[in-house]
Structure 1
Amino acid sequence: MIFIFRKNIKTILRSLLTNPILIIGYWIFCYELASLCRYGRINNNIYILLLCIVFLISIIAFTTIRIIKDREYGSKKSNTWQYISIIIILAITLFYGVEIYKSATNYGGKLAWTIERLKNERSVKFEHNNIYEYGVEGIFEDINKEYTLPKKLYMASDFKLTFNSDGTITSFDTFVYGKNTDGKEESYLITYDKNKSQDITLWLNGYAGSDYDDDKLVEPLIKTVNAIPVQQTVSKWNESKYGLVYYGKRNWGYNTEGIININEEGKEVHLEEATSEIIGYTVSIFVPGKEKEMIPARYNLIGDPSWSKSNTTPNQDSSKEKQQELTNNNEQFFLSKEVGYQLNFTDKALGSTFYSLSKTVDGGETWEVINEDPFIGGIGSVSGITFINDKLGFIGAIRPSGTNGELYRTDDGGISFKKVNYTPHEVKLNSGQSISPFDSPGMPYEKDGVFNMLVGQGSDGDYNGNSSALYQSKDNGETWEYVKEVKSS
């Protein structure tokens, strides 16, 4: 009896493997499955996949019943066709298996994003959703109920929030990081959109480009918003929707337009006429889309000396470099006192951040978007921006994984960008294995007519003390040649 059963099983398998109709159905199934993993177009693929599954099950059931009833069925196929059919099935499985694997790794397809979401996306119930009652502190309180945030938080990106006239928060997003009690860095991409969900969405373990710059502290945001009479401020505008934005510490120069100094009780503090540049952790309240018509209320909390005005008296001989030192950072670059460029956060999706590029010609009083997508897609974070002149400039990006970066070049003043390519420098390890550790380009700089660029190793770099590779270009950064390895200082 057991012998007959085993013989039937072998006959069934042989019949299935040599059935041309089943092979065609299997090929269609694998094609549609690979397409679904890469593009994620469920509506386009799911019905065909279900139809294929039903078809394959029907073929298997029909073949099994037929063989049990007629033991001679399926045993007449030639050995040559059996081998050919097995090779075809193995080839289909291997080819589409590799395609599915690619879709699941290195953000090569929709499947990789789905896996990333399952690993790192979390939801938190948003209860303190009224800015008049809870400020922004309520947001962090709700998150702390389920995830203990680091006590000292820094922003990797700006904090932006919108709310209705009744104080209901409708959206916000920011990317914060810090060290927990064990000294380990944690990062949180925090987003909320009332139209999509009633919960706060968290993305854990993203690459924050952590520099622990005190100019990007989160604490001043919380304390300042607690002191601001938000409802009283927006009531004078009589609009239905309002916005709040916080970039960290900002330098306003001597421009006092919209600047309001308040104490911790929310009372306005009138200071003497500015004899120094206005520098503070500014929280701005505004009407979205009407910033030019209705000047934003820019609040600086007075109390902590490091949060209010600078005590430095301006020097009439101050150099252009000093002015740039106060304004230039990874996302902003001033070519002159009047002309500057700024990368602006526009959206976040599945761990990627999207930016636009703006330009000012009046020292930052007004900005105009000149490129809606300079990075030609989403990135993890900005690694830098620099302009050599009003035409030639560079912007840098870190990929969402944080392990490598990219450089983009413009020769038309930022209207368009192209990715900069350079030949990766290979090094040989003691084991004989060759690797290319240098994959995170820094901002190019010009010296004696030659462009220089240091290419680092990214967040996973540990080769030779995390050294860098020096590249040089003699054609304004279009092509680059490896020069030497440079030790980290």
Structure 2
Amino acid sequence: MKKYKQITKRGLISYIVTSLIFITVYWISFYELYTLCRFGRVNNNVKVLVLCMTFFLVWLIILIVENIKKSQVLLEQDTDKGEFYSSCKAKWTCIIIVSIVLITGFYGVKIYHSGIKYNGKLSWLLQDLKNKRTVKLEHDNIYNDGIEGLFKDVNQKVNMPSKLYIANNFNLKFDHNGKIISFDTYLYGKNDKGKLQSYLINYDSNKSENITIYLNGYVNASYSNDKLLKPLIKTMKVIPLKKTVSKWVEKQYEILYYGKRSFGYNTQGIVYIDSKGKINAEVNPFSEIVGYFVSVSVPGKDNIYTPVRYNLTDDLYSIKEAQPSRENKNDKISDEKYNSSNQFHLSKKVGYRLEITAVALGNRSYSLNKTTDGGTTWKTINEDPFSGMLGSAAGITFLNDKLGFLCLSYNGGRNGQLYRTADGGISYKKVDLPEVKVSLSGEGTYNPFDLPGMPYKNGKALDILVGQGSDGNYNGGCKALYESKDDGVTWNYVKEVAKN
């Protein structure tokens, strides 16, 4: 009898201990499986899961062998004592089963939740299986194959619509031999059934030889002609790309396209090109510079090398004959007045002009000169109207012989600063425009309006349209309208104005 009691105690204790170990390992395995599905930490999780699976296999073998032995012993012992042992074991087995069900249910729900869109790594894996496509980049030389070669490769895997729009921009980097290093863009359009299709396309030669295409992503589809992709393809066919970058001795170059853009009155780097490749870089605008510009530059070095911004046009030499833009039709302007980036005439005899006094790293300093004899002679009236700031002249206007405004743009026309004079140009002060805060998806707010135009009269008040600069793409490239009732000393934001 004593021998029997020792066997029963030992067996029961052994069963409880091994069960606790089993439950612990079971919990660890489900926890690791959940974190794998949630966060995708493959290296750490998979190792632990393999150890857990090995444990389960060994445990199962030992359990089978022990059960066989115990069943033989129980057959030789007193029946009542065997029933007592079986009762204790059955109760503990129920506890084990309940624990397994709770662990399975708890982590099962979490794993299922991680498979729901955007909730975990598992969801991204499922999304990739459904929407991710890859194709090898065969046409990898921009000099030889152009942009069209790239899209030929993409269309081998996905059949994109013929009419495509850019959701953000098109960015491509290549080396001095023309080999494509990387590119990315987000395109959308309507398929044959009129259904919206989107294509997030990217390629990085340092990571893979394949182009990656993600389908059916969220896109704010405005179908604006300002965002058409076709002008990029047409312009790239005629751009002398290799010749353009040959003057920059660098390892990497960049092509940027945002669709239709406005550079205000900033002519820096602007080049007009026709379908035969003929070029007109002598731009003297009489109105805002707007077009489908394709920029060629050295990434991160715009302050050293001025980007070349190509605009495809059918009538190459009609650009200089453009008429002045009239912000307010009720504001009568004589035919002699015109507003360019660096010159303004108040009358046939009186005019003002910004003259370049120094150039440093692609930026310029200016003096303000004045003529009172129709341009025969000029006199410097302000040696430094921008108070030591460097940039590019982006506008000049005078509303009378005392009140006038200047704009200096920075960073290749990405933003600018407005200056005001109340003494005929003798001195200028910066103008502070209240910022307009707009939401940036999941990243707080920002002010997209940072390149001021020239103020103009609107009845007794002054109005000004502030654009988004060369890198702006908020809400179709709209502008912010401001109003001043104290001759431009202070300004109030009025509303957004759609881009013409």
Which TM bucket (shorter chain)?
Answer: 0.5 to 0.7
Is contact 2:142-2:174 (8 Å) kept? Answer: yes
SS in 2 for 1:172: strand
In the other structure, the counterpart of 1:41 is 41
Residue identity matched to 1:142: D
- Match runs of 1:272-351 below 5 Å: 273-303=284-314, 313-315=324-326, 317=328
Conserved? CA contact 2:27–2:103, under 8 Å: yes
Distance 1:178 1:143 in 2: 15
TM-score by length of 1: 0.62
Query: 232-241 or 57-66, which moves further after superposition?
Result: 57-66
Structure 1 residues 312, 216: CA separation in 2 closer, same or farther (over 3 Å shift)? Answer: farther
Is residue 229 from structure 1 mapped to residue 273 from structure 2 by the alignment? no
Distance across 1 between alignment mates of 2:50 and 2:125: 21
Distance 2:320 2:273 in 1: 12
Given that 1:162 and 1:171 are in contact with CA atoms closer than 8 Å, whether structure 2 keeps it comes out as: yes
CA distance in 1, matches of 2:307, 2:256: 10
2: distance between equivalents of 1:85 and 1:304?
A: 84
What's the CA shift string for 1:458-489, capped at 9, x where partnerless?
xxxxxxxxxxxxxxxxxxxxxxxxxxxxxxxx
Post-superposition offset of 1:69: 4.8
Aligned 1:366-445 pairs, distance under 5 A: 390=434, 393-397=437-441, 408-409=444-445
Following TM superposition, by how much is the alpha carbon of 1:228 offset from its aligned partner in structure 2, in angstroms?
A: 0.3
State how many pairs are aligned.
335
Give, in angstroms, the shift of residue 276 of structure 1: 2.2
Per the alignment, residue 183 of structure 2 pairs with 172
Deviations 1:225-251 (A, max 9, x none): 111010000001121110110010011
Consecutive unaligned residues in structure 2, runs of 5 or more: 1-14, 75-84, 331-385, 387-406, 416-431, 451-479, 481-500
In 2, the alpha carbon distance for the partners of 1:232 and 1:108 equals 49
Identify if the C-alpha distance between structure 1 residues 408 and 230 changes in structure 2 by more than 3 Å, giving closer, same or farther: same
Which of 103, 109, 115 is matched with 2:114 structurally?
103
- Which residue, 156, 164, 167 being the options, matches 1:156? 167
SS state at 1:94 partner: helix
| 1:55–1:312 CA distance, 2 compared to 1 (3 A) | farther
Secondary structure of the corresponding residue to residue 250 of structure 2: coil
Task: Name the CA shift for 1:234/1:366 in 2 (closer, same or farther; >3 Å).
Answer: closer
Aligned partner (choices 235, 243, 249) of residue 254 of structure 2: 243
Mark the CA change 1:94 to 1:312 in structure 2 (over 3 Å): closer, same or farther: farther
Matching residue within 84, 87, 97 for 2:95: 84
Map of 1:29 onto structure 2: 29
Structure 1 alignment gaps of length 5 or more: 1-14, 320-337, 339-360, 370-387, 398-405, 415-444, 446-489
Measured against aligned partners, the alpha-carbon deviations of 1:70-124 in whole angstroms (never above 9, x if no partner) come to 4357956433322222111111111111221222113122222222222211101
Does the Cα contact within 8 Å between 2:268 and 2:412 map onto a contact in 1?
no
Instruction: Say if 2:219 is the partner of 1:208.
Output: yes
Cα distance in 2 between the residues matched to 1:58 and 1:286 = 64
The one-character-per-residue Cα deviations of 1:264-313 (angstroms, maximum 9, x if unpaired) are 122213667322222110000001121111100100011289xx899663
Alignment partners' CA distance in 1, 2:57 and 2:413? 62
Distance 2:37 2:320 in 1: 54
- Decide whether aligned partners of structure 1 residues 105 and 64 sit closer, same or farther in structure 2, where only a CA change above 3 A counts: same
Q: After superposition, what is the alpha-carbon deviation per residue over 1:301-357, rounded to whole angstroms, capped at 9, x for unaligned? A: 11289xx899663126489xxxxxxxxxxxxxxxxxx9xxxxxxxxxxxxxxxxxxx
Over alpha carbons, which structure has the higher Rg?
2
Equivalent-residue separation in structure 2 for 1:207 and 1:295 (angstroms): 35
Q: Which amino acid aligns with 2:62?
A: F
Change (3 A) 1:25 1:260: same
Conservation of the 8 A alpha-carbon contact between 1:17 and 1:85:
no
Question: Who is 2:202 aligned against?
Answer: 191
Q: CA deviation at 1:392?
A: 6.7
Q: Structure 1 126/310 Cα, relative in aligned 2: closer, same or farther at 3 Å?
A: farther
What is the DSSP-based 3-state SS (H/G/I as helix, E as strand, rest coil) of the residue aligned with 2:183?
Answer: strand
TM-score, normalised via structure 2 length = 0.61
